[in-house]
Amino acid sequence: AQSVAQPEDQVNVAEGNPLTVKCTYSVSGNPYLFWYVQYPNRGLQFLLKYITGDNLVKGSYGFEAEFNKSQTSFHLKKPSALVSDSALYFCAVRTRMDSSYKLIFGSGTRLLVRP
């Protein structure tokens, strides 16, 4: 069965410091991986995706993520955090074998950036 784990319920970081939000996955076959962000009372917003190619992918708002096949991880990173980055972050996976392309989400990680 496909699954996604986000081991940290909350990540706290000071503004200007680098941030990492962790994600590991378990799928059969090659994964497609996604990061979404959710602000209060708003829907999920797409940040970035890994489909194939370079393991380091860059996305919106200065975020990037590194795909590591051997560790089955897809951690989200940003070199310098902003207070406005405080939100709920979700990692998601789907496989190429699933013709519906439905997403399997992790439980989310709340990022709190303090001034």
Partner 1 sequence: DTGVSQNPRHKITKRGQNVTFRCDPISEHNRLYWYRQTLGQGPEFLTYFQNEAQLEKSRLLSDRFSAERPKGSFSTLEIQRTEQGDSAMYLCASSPPDAAVNEQFFGPGTRLTVL
> Quick one: 15 or 105, whose CB is closer to partner 1?
105
Site for partner 1 contains 104 (CB under 8 A):
yes
N residues, the chain: 115
- Residue from 1, 29, 40, 42 touching partner 1 (CB under 8 A): that is 42
CA dist list (Å): 62 to 53, 57, 80, 81, 86: 20, 11, 9, 9, 14
Site for partner 1 contains 55 (CB under 8 A):
no
DSSP one-letter string for 30-47: -EEEEEEEE-TTS-EEEE
> Quick one: 69 or 102, whose CB is closer to partner 1?
102
Do residues 78 and 62 touch, judged by C-beta distance below 8 A?
yes
Contacting range for partner 1; rule: CB under 8 A; set: 19-27, 43-51, 69-77, 78-86? 43-51
Please give the residue ranges that form the binding site for partner 1 (CB under 8 A): 4, 32, 34, 36, 41-46, 49, 51, 90, 92, 96, 99-108
